[in-house]
């Protein structure tokens, strides 16, 4: 598949966005069952008509995505939800009132025959969210469709936080991209299964477990989240994701431990990269040292993580060592993505 890719430039704060010519044209492409990348508050998504096998198949072809990995459906208003799912549990209502629009995906029992089976990966459940981004909401509303939209990158690569990242990965493979600048949160939405009495986090993200529990009480975390085993009910539960070209190793140790590993590999003639934070960058010696925000502000690490992982590809590296972070708050999402990028390769000197 090789197609001329359109780029629609849109300002985030433009008035009356639904009638904006670029939004209208991009929505026309979605109604024609084409794929269109667009910004959300987390990352850029690759959107297509969630009810069409033809449209959703184009997502999988463009991304090279495994077929048993379900897709998240994006909507523009809560009223759409009643047309798509069997029921909305009370706890789901509470979470929607608190965090929609926002970086929170909820798993519901889907209505039979509504979605392409490629969206649900053959499951009887579906993940749905309402993005907190004016351009995304305008595009979805103008299209009049529920929009399936995984991250707009080649499968396994770091997720895109700018339109440039989308173009790097998918130029010639999709109809176009709506360019509204850099995204905000930087890591994908939190995914919560609402089909059981106690909600379960299937993927940590922009809304933390503590924030969820403030609204609905006890929230569990899926024990298979780290192992990535079994049939995934949510994107990001299986397969290596977010990886740069060189293999990544997480190091549970001190800066001195990491430097010893770097020195050993350099003596072998390898080119080594280090992923660190602003506080520690000057303390390392390696071919490439990149920072992903501040250790004192894990939101900044979440925001810059994918861009930093992609930046390593500008250098011909043989191996990358990464610091680790506390698995608290948004740090749980940061470590989940780093573990995926590393293929769960963790060194404990």
Instruction: Indicate if 269 and 183 belong to the same structural domain.
Output: no
Tell me if 336 sits within 8 A of 308, measured CB to CB.
no
Q: Are 317 and 269 in contact (CB under 8 A)?
A: no
Query: Residue 230: its pLDDT value, please?
Result: 43
User: Do residue 257 and residue 207 come from a single domain?
Assistant: no
- Residue 315 domain flag: yes
User: Mean pLDDT of all residues in the chain?
Assistant: 92
For 13-43, b where at least 16 C-beta lie within 10 A, e where not — what string? eeeebeebebbbebbebbeebbbbbbbbbbb
Q: Give dist(CA 208, CA 141) in Å, integer.
A: 28
Tokens 């660190």 — which residue?
A: 276
DSSP state of 277: -
- Cα angle 116-102-194, degrees, rounded to a multiple of 5: 60
Tell me whether residue 230 is in a domain: no
Same domain, yes or no: 49 and 96: yes
Q: Considering the domain boundaries, does residue 35 fall inside one?
A: yes
Residue 214 shares a structural domain with residue 267: no
Last residue of a domain, one of 173, 205, 221: 221
Tens-digit pLDDT profile for residues 32-89? 999 999 999 999 999 999 999 999 999 999 999 776 789 999 999 999 999 999 999 9
Would residue 40 count as lying in a domain? yes
pLDDT of residue 69: 80
Per-residue confidence band for 231, with pLDDT thresholds at 50, 70 and 90? very low
Tell me, yes or no, whether 214 and 252 share the same domain: no
Q: What share of the chain is helix, strand, coil (3-state, %, to 5)?
A: 35, 20, 50
On the question of pLDDT at 92 being above 50, the answer is yes
What is the structure's pLDDT at 232? 52
The boundaries of the domain holding residue 93 are: 6-221
In this structure, is residue 166 part of a structural domain?
yes
CATH code for the domain of 116: 3.90.870.10
**86: in domain:** yes
Number of separate domains in the chain: 2
Binding residues for L-threonine, as ranges, are 42, 74, 129, 149, 189
Q: Does 128 have pLDDT greater than 50?
A: yes
Residues 74 and 214 reside in one and the same domain: yes
Residues 214 and 253 in one domain: no
Q: Are residues 134 and 205 in the same domain?
A: yes
Residue 61 shares a structural domain with residue 197: yes
Residues 99 and 179 in one domain: yes
> For residue 185, what pLDDT is reported?
82
Same-domain check for residues 165 and 31: yes
Q: Is residue 238 situated within a structural domain?
A: no
* CATH number of the domain residue 274 falls in: 3.40.50.11030
Cα distances (Å, whole numbers) of residue 342 to 31, 145, 158, 274, 307: 38, 36, 12, 13, 16
Return binding residues. Answer: 42, 65, 69, 74, 129, 149, 151, 159, 189, 203, 242
For a pLDDT cut of 70, what percent of the chain falls above it?
92
Do 149 and 195 belong to one domain? Answer: yes
Is the confidence at residue 233, as pLDDT, over 90?
Answer: no
Annotated binding-site residue numbers for ATP: 65, 69, 151, 159, 203, 242
**Is residue 241 one of the residues assigned to a domain?**
no
pLDDT in tens, 154-207: 988 999 999 999 999 999 999 999 999 999 888 899 999 999 999 999 999 999
State the DSSP H helix or E strand holding residue 107, giving kind and residue range, or none if neither.
strand 104-109
């Amino acid at each position: 598949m090789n197609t001329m890719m359109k780029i629609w430039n849109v300002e985030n704060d433009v008035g009356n966005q639904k009638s904006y010519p670029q939004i209208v044209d991009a929505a026309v492409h979605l109604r024609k069952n084409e794929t269109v990348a667009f910004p959300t508050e987390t990352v850029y998504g690759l959107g297509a008509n969630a009810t069409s096998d033809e449209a959703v198949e184009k997502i999988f072809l463009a991304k090279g995505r495994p077929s048993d990995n379900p897709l998240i459906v994006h909507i523009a208003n809560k009223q759409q939800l009643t047309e798509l799912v069997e029921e909305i549990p009370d706890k789901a209502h509470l979470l929607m009132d608190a965090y929609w629009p926002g970086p929170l995906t909820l798993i519901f029992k889907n209505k039979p025959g509504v979605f392409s089976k490629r969206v649900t990966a053959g499951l009887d459940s579906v993940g749905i969210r309402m993005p907190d981004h004016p351009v995304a909401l305008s595009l979805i509303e103008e299209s009049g469709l529920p929009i399936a939209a995984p991250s707009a990158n080649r499968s396994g690569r770091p997720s895109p936080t700018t339109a440039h990242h989308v173009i790097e990965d998918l130029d010639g493979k999709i109809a176009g991209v709506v360019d509204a600048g850099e995204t905000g949160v930087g890591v994908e939405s939190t995914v919560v299964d609402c089909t059981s009495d106690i909600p379960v986090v299937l993927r940590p993200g922009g809304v933390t477990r503590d924030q969820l529990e403030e609204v609905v009480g006890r929230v569990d975390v899926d024990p298979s989240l780290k192992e990535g085993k079994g049939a995934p009910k949510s994107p990001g539960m299986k397969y290596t994701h977010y990886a740069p070209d060189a293999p990544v190793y997480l190091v549970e140790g001190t800066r001195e431990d990491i430097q010893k590993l770097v020195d050993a590999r350099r003596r072998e003639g390898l080119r080594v990269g280090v992923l660190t934070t602003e506080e520690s960058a000057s303390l390392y010696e390696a071919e490439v040292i990149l920072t992903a925000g501040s250790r004192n502000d894990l939101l900044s690490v979440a925001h810059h993580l994918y861009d930093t992982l992609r930046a390593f590809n500008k250098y011909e590296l043989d191996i990358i060592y990464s610091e680790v972070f506390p698995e608290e708050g948004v740090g749980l999402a940061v470590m989940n993505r780093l573990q995926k990028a590393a293929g769960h390769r963790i060194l404990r000197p």
